[in-house]
Amino acid sequence: MDDLDRRLINRLQLGLPLVRHPWQALAQELDSSSTELLDRLHELLNDGVLTRFGPMFDIDRLGGAFTLAALAVPEPRFEAIAELLADMPEVAHNYRREHTWNMWFVLACPSEQAINDTLLHIEHLTGLVPLNLPKEETYHVGLYFPV
């Protein structure tokens, strides 16, 4: 990772410019070209330096529902169940935690009923009962990790 990669990551954490051609505006700001910035972004994603690049939606305002959930997965089954969840369109992301509830994931669905149906489906597929942790209150925290 070089200086331009670092500047690109730092700048993208602040959001894209709200203009007709955001990559051109970023290129001008970072003394680069839009093609180079997009190529670097794809490289950073392919190399695993970045795990995700995309918009953040307020699913409640869009009429949907989401929840944080967890599974207590036996270690020999962890990777297989992680892949199973990753293939589900309702699962925004999942990750490992050092705890009895060692697999955490976020579900985004069109309704509360769809959340419940999806949790039951996961239980049926895995034989493990998910822990459902729905949001009680919204907090807006701006995160910025300078690279």
Reported as a single tens digit per residue, the pLDDT across 13-39 is: 998 999 999 999 999 999 999 999 999
Same domain assignment for residues 41 and 69:
no
Does the pLDDT at position 82 exceed 90? yes
Number of separate domains in the chain: 2
Residues 79 and 130 in one domain: yes
Tell me which residue of 88, 66, 71 sits closest to 134, measured CA to CA. 66
Query: Vertex 94, ends 59 and 77: CA angle to 5°?
Result: 145
41 and 88 in a common domain:
no
Provide the residue range defining the domain that includes 119. Answer: 65-134
52 in a structural domain: no
Does 59 fall in a domain? no
- pLDDT recorded at residue 92: 84
- On whether both 71 and 129 belong to a single domain, the answer is yes
Q: How much is the pLDDT for 18?
A: 92
pTM for the whole structure: 0.66
Q: What is the CATH number of the domain that holds 118?
A: 3.30.70.3460
pLDDT per residue over 84-125, tens digit each?
999 999 998 889 999 999 999 999 999 999 999 999 999 999
Cα separation, 108 vs 117, whole angstroms: 12
Rounded Cα–Cα distance for residues 10 and 19 (Å)? 19
pLDDT for 58 equals: 75
Instruction: Please tell me whether residues 80 and 114 are part of one structural domain.
Output: yes
Q: What is the pLDDT of residues 38-78, one digit of tens each?
A: 999 999 999 999 988 888 777 778 888 999 999 999 999 99
Of 101, 91, 88, the C-alpha closest to 128 is 101
Average pLDDT over residues 118-140: 93
The mean of the pLDDT values for the chain is 93
